[in-house]
Amino acid sequence: MLGKADVRDIVAAELGVPSESIGDDDDLVSLGMHSMMLMQLAARWRKQGHEVRSSELALQPTLAAWAELLSGGHAEPPAPAPEPAPAETAESDEFALATMQHAYWVGRRQDQRLGGVAAHLYVEFDGEGVQADRMRRAVGRLVRRHEQLRVQFTDAGTQKVLPEPLRPVFHLIDLTSAGATGPEAAACVTTEGPADGAVDTAFDGGRMELERVRQEKSHQRMDVAAGQVVDITLTLLPGGKHRVHVDVDMLAGDALSYRRILDDLATLYAADADAADSLGYTYRRYLADRERTAPDNSAAKTWWENRIQGLPDIPSLPVLAENDRPDPARSVRLHHWFPPEAKAQLNKVAHSHGVTPAVALATVFSEAIARWSAHQRFLLNVPLFDREPLHDDIDRVVGDFTNSVLVDVDARETESMVTRAKRLQRELHTCAAHSTYEGLDVLRDLGRLRGAPVTPSVVFTSGLDLGELFSDEVTKTFGEPVWILSQGPQVDLDAQVVELSGGLLVNWDVRRDAMPAGVVDAMFGEFRRLLLALVEPGADWQAPLSIPLPDAQRAVRDSVNATGRDLGARTLHDAFFARAEQDPNRIALRWRDGGSSSYGDLAGRALAVGRALADAGVRPGDTVAVVIGKGHRQIPAVLGVLAAGATYVPIGIGQPRARRDRILARAGAKVALVEDGAELPDGVTAVALDVAVAGPRLERAHSCAPRETAYVLFTSGSTGEPKGVEVSHRAAANTIDALAAHFGLGKDDRLIGLSSLEFDLSVFDIFGALSLGGALACVDADTERDAEAWARLIAETGVSVLNCAPGLIGMLLDTASPEQLRSMRVVITGGDRVNTELGQRFRAVVPGVRFAGLGGTTETAIHSTVCEVTADFPAAWATVPYGTPLANVRMRVVNERGEDCPDWVVGELWIGGTSVADGYRGDPERTAERFVEIDGVRWYRTGDLARYLPDGTVDFLGRADHQVKIRGYRVELGEVESALTALPQVREAVALVTDGGRLVAAVTADAAVDFAAALRDSLPAHMIPEAVEVFDAIPLTANGKLDRAAVRRAIDADAPGSADAYVAPADEVEAAIAYIAGQILGVDQVGVETDFFEIGGNSILATTLTAKVRGLLSVEKFGVTEVFEGRTVRRIASGLMASETTPGRLAQVSRILLELAEVSLPEPVPSR
């Protein structure tokens, strides 16, 4: 047993400090303890019989904690290296893949998400003097020395060591005669620094060939089925110079192995002879020994099971769908080299705060990811180097010894570098302490829980404390590294930090087309800027950790939001009454059958209503409900309320009585304008409109202050209670005047009032017409859903401006003739998602019309942004973005920390400026929550999801409350809808979640579509609807919006049952495969139509299924490809039966298996 004094002496020797300088509770990390030391100490103590892992030491890095941890062991003599397994396989026998090898092997397949890429590391060295024949001999000796450099990976998911690779490992390219000779030769290749990535050649032909080789080898997938896992090429250049190209597939060896490969190659080249020593251990033996000596992982498994429900998603970076990437496999490297003095400063400051330099770098990286993620809490994939000390030669063995942990990064709060780093370090060390249950096992469980594979596509790897990436011997022999690139399957962003040339090299290897242009450059630029600031002498690590919006993006935001314009604060009604005095005979209203009302007549009726309200006790500032059926009679009612100095609250006559009464109470309305005979609750006085308009008039309209409330509109509240939005005259008038200025609206324009008075688009219809001296064509209750009647009214009255929800425009285009619409010059639409196709349709019907999608909310006075659909409108936009803000309006897209999101990053849309409402009537708590003031600007937090595009356009993505959780995944219904409407056959789409938790969709489509197949390249599996129903027309609400509730009812009514319902096997073969799959997945039954990968299957289990089917059913020609392509028991069985050479044999073998397993045979069914 080790005592505390023994531990102190050992630790002091490792740190190189006096024993007496280390206190019992000193943080050993702050004294310089790093990961490699921890691994060495753990290995030393395990050999002495103490069951301790480096991750446990890292979790509590104090002498006191370590002494207690080690006191539980026994002071046994040093254990000998494990004996070979009794049944050790011969070199030529197949053996199992390690867990990470499985992931690499499957991930490199073309049919995998983010697949088609090998896990490999490619490096180029430039130097002089390497001889081709000598290099060839050294490579041959290297491959013979290390079994894993001649290992073959079989289709069955196993590996086998070959006597030699079936394809050449060494290649020679001779460019000595490609160009420069003599004095110019020295300029042929120049190196600008470690991993600079820029090689300049003075000979065009040679330069082109070098570039061709670089592009080919840095993106190759070597033929691992032929044992090709390493590719070493020597290019001879003029003047005795050379380039050495080294590519190693990570299936053969991890990052530490890469160092070993290069070191051995340099040694073998220098000696030009076989190695003086032989390896006494192999990777094959290591896997067998580790299998026998693996610790019990049940506690670690339980720990992960207890936290898996609460794990976050992977980072929500602005990635493009794979089918939108021009070259999805192409990678680029962004890098920065920190000189030795910066490295020393980082180490010094990090240790002083009790965090390792690796964790400090991971903290800065996670901040960059958080800044460009839609959510600031996410899973980060962190590989671990996990060589167990099972043999004295283990550090000289080439192989994959990696594991990984999924680290929960929580950056939702703004905090200091020290606070964030310490929390991340605790999380990392805690996860590592439970890493005997491997990261890929956790991913499998997470995928089973969420019903689809989870792909952690952002990786951070620290190679600190492993020593220099390239030893002095390597660079002395082969030259300086000038190009480095790594790739990995199912990874979009792979960040690494390594030690190079005495400093630190930080690399980001990124799929070039994974994100929109400029995103990765901006991310890396700000990451580098923050890191540089933190290693400056005197840097304050206690200051808030933050990354500002990039300067160029800030400049664009400031420009598009420089909307200040003096439109003049006014009330909604003053301009109308002034116009009525100036030009009383001008027509103000028109309706069907030739009906009309002049400005003078309308003003007179409005003043009469105002007088009646005053007589009923209404005083300026009071609230009056307007409960009048749709049509021209609503207009004098609204104007009359305003003329009395009051606020109007529209309530539809079709509202349920209980809801109407709740609105009246919440609004504080004591008087209501109603139809004759309407019944109202006690305490509310009814004023009949028809009586009021015929009575005496006010002498003049009350002129209130623009800041007074003009109207209160009630919308559905999330609590079930309607919420009333108070909008001032000034806010609404600003929107109207801004749109009038933008589109050049004036007294000669005629609008049509299609929208309900309860819908804020009606405010623009009424006052956009009457404030400017124009006319309003009124639709009555009998024709408010009759598009043919609208078309006739438009033609009869010469309507020039249409303002309504997109659903109503679609109805109009479906029924109206081009002749009926020819008077249109401006069409503005909002309140719902606007499909680009709708705008193009209207432009085709009415050439020259200006068609614009407008964004906004009731809380921001109708409309806030504008985006016109033009002839050169981007074809990639299936829906019209919100656009840019109107006059005196500002827009922000904000993350969970209240910071402005960078371009392309999804956040919550905030709208500020003059048009922001005053709040919610009678609800100060909700008002305080949704309306905030920052630096003198009042903002409304919309709850909408949006993003800024690089040109300053705001792109609306849907409601935040349309963001749902499906089996643990966060799903934005707007993204699903966008993917559906992007299909050429689809016109409209609604995505929703049924009461049973199923993700479904409704569409209108021009042709039959296999939606699952069509969406596979644009959406991940968990976002593809289980069912898509085709409607002739999607129902609309009274306001012309897509009626999601009606769609949900229709889909629920048609649903035959859950798509996950169990379907029993139809024959022996299906039953046998279902049985095997159930045994592998640990479930009682597997339906034959159930997707193997949606119930917990993953690459490892697919390989296991392959092996079991081949063995138990005596099938030779069956590989993992058939599992990935088949996915269900039924399709796999069908494929096996179609390929069997002896009809009936597969069924016979299946029957025997089922009988032995005591599984009931399926009832006979007609043959398929």
- Residue 2 in this model has a pLDDT that exceeds 90: no
The pLDDT value recorded for residue 953 is 97
Average pLDDT of the residues in 951-963:
83
The pLDDT value recorded for residue 191 is 31
pLDDT (tens digit, 9 = 90+) per residue, 914-927?
999 999 999 999 99
Helix (H, G, I), strand (E, B) or coil at 470: coil
Q: What residues contact 785, with CB distance under 8 A and at least 6 apart? A: none
Distance between CA atoms of residues 103 and 115, nearest Å: 11
> For residue 129, is it within any domain?
yes
The pLDDT value recorded for residue 982 is 84
pLDDT (tens digit, 9 = 90+) per residue, 291-308?
988 888 899 999 999 999
Residue 993 pLDDT grade (very low, low, confident, very high; cuts 50, 70, 90): confident
- Residue 447 in this model has a pLDDT that exceeds 50: yes
From 1005, 1030, 1057, the end of a domain falls on 1057
The pLDDT value recorded for residue 198 is 36
- Residue 951 in this model has a pLDDT that exceeds 80: yes
Helix (H, G, I), strand (E, B) or coil at 507: strand
From 861, 894, 927, the end of a domain falls on 894
626: phi then psi, degrees, rounded to nearest 5? -115, 105
> For residue 932, is it within any domain?
no
Helices (H), 650-728: 657-667, 689-693
The pLDDT value recorded for residue 1164 is 53
Instruction: Say whether both 192 and 339 belong to one domain.
Output: no
Instruction: Say whether both 1022 and 1095 belong to one domain.
Output: no
692, β-bridge pairs: none
- Residue 643 in this model has a pLDDT that exceeds 80: yes
3-state helix, strand, coil in the chain (%, to 5): 40, 20, 40
pLDDT (tens digit, 9 = 90+) per residue, 598-628?
999 999 999 999 999 999 999 999 999 999 9
268: phi then psi, degrees, rounded to nearest 5? -65, -35
User: Which has more pLDDT, 68 or 808?
Assistant: 808
> For residue 588, is it within any domain?
yes
Residue 972 pLDDT grade (very low, low, confident, very high; cuts 50, 70, 90): confident
Residue 179 pLDDT grade (very low, low, confident, very high; cuts 50, 70, 90): low
> For residue 13, is it within any domain?
yes
Q: What residues contact 453, with CB distance under 8 A and at least 6 apart? A: 113, 443, 447, 1021, 1093, 1098
Count other C-beta atoms under 10 Å from residue 813's C-beta: 18
The pLDDT value recorded for residue 1103 is 82
Tokens matching residue 273 = 């002879």
Average pLDDT of the residues in 744-765:
96
893, β-bridge pairs: 909
DSSP for 231-299 reads: EEEEEE-GGGEEEEEEEEETTT--HHHHHHHHHHHHHHHHHTS--SS--S--HHHHHHHHHHHPPP-HH
Nearest to 859 by CA among 732, 1044, 705, 1036: 732
Q: Is the pTM of this model over 0.85?
A: no
Distance between CA atoms of residues 358 and 349, nearest Å: 12
Instruction: Say whether both 543 and 589 belong to one domain.
Output: no
Instruction: Say whether both 688 and 789 belong to one domain.
Output: yes
The pLDDT value recorded for residue 706 is 97
Instruction: Say whether both 346 and 268 belong to one domain.
Output: no
Instruction: Say whether both 615 and 548 belong to one domain.
Output: no
User: Which has more pLDDT, 403 or 75?
Assistant: 403
Residue 146 pLDDT grade (very low, low, confident, very high; cuts 50, 70, 90): very high
Helix (H, G, I), strand (E, B) or coil at 412: coil
| Candidate ranges 285-294, 459-468, 882-891, 1098-1107; pick with highest mean pLDDT | 882-891
The pLDDT value recorded for residue 170 is 98
Instruction: Say whether both 726 and 836 belong to one domain.
Output: yes
Tokens matching residue 99 = 């867990």
Cβ proximity of 113 and 231 under 8 Å:
no
pLDDT (tens digit, 9 = 90+) per residue, 765-822?
999 999 999 999 999 999 988 999 999 999 999 999 999 999 899 999 999 999 999 9
Domain residues for 23? Answer: 4-70
- Residue 49 in this model has a pLDDT that exceeds 80: no
- Residue 201 in this model has a pLDDT that exceeds 50: no
Distance between CA atoms of residues 952 and 908, nearest Å: 16
Distance between CA atoms of residues 1129 and 1119, nearest Å: 15
| Candidate ranges 54-58, 336-340, 941-945; pick with highest mean pLDDT | 336-340
The pLDDT value recorded for residue 77 is 46
Average pLDDT of the residues in 516-523:
96
- Residue 470 in this model has a pLDDT that exceeds 50: yes
Nearest to 993 by CA among 1036, 1025, 1030: 1025
The pLDDT value recorded for residue 817 is 96
Average pLDDT of the residues in 516-528:
96
DSSP for 312-376 reads: -PSP---PPPGGG-SSTT-EEEEEEEEPHHHHHHHHHHHHHTT--HHHHHHHHHHHHHHHTSSSS
- Residue 1007 in this model has a pLDDT that exceeds 90: no
The pLDDT value recorded for residue 241 is 96
CATH number of the domain where residue 137 is located: 3.30.559.10
- Residue 1117 in this model has a pLDDT that exceeds 60: yes
- Total domain count, the chain: 6
The pLDDT value recorded for residue 35 is 66
Instruction: Say whether both 773 and 873 belong to one domain.
Output: yes
User: Which has more pLDDT, 1 or 1057?
Assistant: 1
User: Which has more pLDDT, 1085 or 244?
Assistant: 244
Average pLDDT of the residues in 102-120:
90
> For residue 943, is it within any domain?
no
Calculate helix-pair angle for 599-615, 634-643, nearest 10 degrees.
60
The pLDDT value recorded for residue 58 is 73
User: What is the Cβ-side half-sphere exposure of residue 256, based on CA atoms within 13 angstroms?
Assistant: 19
Tell me what percent of the residues of the chain surpass a pLDDT of 90.
63
- Residue 933 in this model has a pLDDT that exceeds 80: yes
Residue written as tokens 């053996």? 95
Instruction: Say whether both 189 and 219 belong to one domain.
Output: yes
> For residue 80, is it within any domain?
no
- Residue 272 in this model has a pLDDT that exceeds 50: yes
CATH number of the domain where residue 1019 is located: 3.30.300.30
Instruction: Say whether both 268 and 150 belong to one domain.
Output: yes
Nearest to 1041 by CA among 833, 881, 882: 833
User: How long, in residues, is the chain?
Assistant: 1168
Distance between CA atoms of residues 398 and 257, nearest Å: 5
Distance between CA atoms of residues 725 and 713, nearest Å: 5
CATH number of the domain where residue 702 is located: 3.40.50.12780
The pLDDT value recorded for residue 955 is 95
Tokens matching residue 714 = 């009630």
933: phi then psi, degrees, rounded to nearest 5? -120, 125
Strands (E), 363-487: 377-385, 402-410, 458-462, 480-487
Residue written as tokens 């005795």? 240
pLDDT (tens digit, 9 = 90+) per residue, 582-604?
999 999 999 999 999 999 999 99
The pLDDT value recorded for residue 14 is 78
Cβ proximity of 719 and 661 under 8 Å:
no
- Residue 107 in this model has a pLDDT that exceeds 50: yes
CATH number of the domain where residue 1125 is located: 1.10.1200.10
Looking at 25-29, 641-645, 647-651, 900-904, which range is the least confident one? 25-29
pLDDT (tens digit, 9 = 90+) per residue, 838-855?
999 999 999 999 999 999
The pLDDT value recorded for residue 1165 is 44
Looking at 74-83, 363-372, 916-925, which range is the least confident one? 74-83
Cβ proximity of 1026 and 1000 under 8 Å:
yes
Instruction: Say whether both 484 and 601 belong to one domain.
Output: no
1151 Rama class: left (phi>0) / alpha (psi -120 to 50) / beta: alpha
CATH number of the domain where residue 536 is located: 3.30.559.30
Tell me the average pLDDT of the chain.
88
* Beta-strand relationship, 671-674 and 623-627: parallel
pLDDT (tens digit, 9 = 90+) per residue, 1119-1131?
888 888 888 999 9
Distance between CA atoms of residues 489 and 483, nearest Å: 20
444: phi then psi, degrees, rounded to nearest 5? -60, -45
> For residue 193, is it within any domain?
yes
487, β-bridge pairs: 120
pLDDT (tens digit, 9 = 90+) per residue, 1014-1067?
887 777 676 788 888 888 888 877 667 777 777 877 777 665 444 456 899 999
> For residue 941, is it within any domain?
no
Tell me what percent of the residues of the chain surpass a pLDDT of 70.
92
Tokens matching residue 126 = 């430039």
The pLDDT value recorded for residue 78 is 46
Instruction: Say whether both 10 and 57 belong to one domain.
Output: yes
